[in-house]
Amino acid sequence: MQTKAVLGLKEVNAILDAAQREAEANDWHITVAVADDSGELLALRRLDGAAPMTAMVSAQKARTAALSHKETRVFEDMINGGRNAFLSAPLAGLLEGGVPVIIDGQVIAAVGVSGVKSDQDAQVAKAGIAAII
């Protein structure tokens, strides 16, 4: 039988706190979402000044990263490279800023961030993940 790690509330809060610190250090108004490995939302934190739309976008980025086991940057690059047919895939959150959480080679969750440039969203997501690995 296989086993895998899962995020508990302690780890989820550590991710949110670290992501918030990274965003605030850069004066970025973002929303950060944490999803489990099936893409279901575990937590969402919208910082003061973040646009309402960022809540939906960050959650979709987290979901897409969890389900695909890939950073969402891969899909943004694919579409920008001309593979427009991928826009018909049954996923939202195809912009950079969704990052899977990988422990012992297994995707156990994902973090999605929205609110600034896509590479900055990814920077915040990775800062959050670094708090637990």
Query: pLDDT tens-digit profile of 74-86?
Result: 999 998 899 988 8
R_g over Cα of the chain: 14
Q: Give the pair of three-digit tokens for residue 44.
A: 């969402």
Q: Report the SS3 class of residue 81.
A: coil
Kindly tell me if the per-residue pLDDT of 92 is higher than 90: no
Q: What is the mean pLDDT of residues 39-68?
A: 98
Using an 8 Å Cβ cutoff, are 30 and 115 in contact?
yes
Which residue has better confidence, 87 or 13? Answer: 13
- Enter the pTM of the model: 0.96
Q: CB-side exposure of 92: number of CA atoms within 13 Å?
A: 7
pLDDT for 103 beyond 90: yes
Position 91 scores a pLDDT of: 82
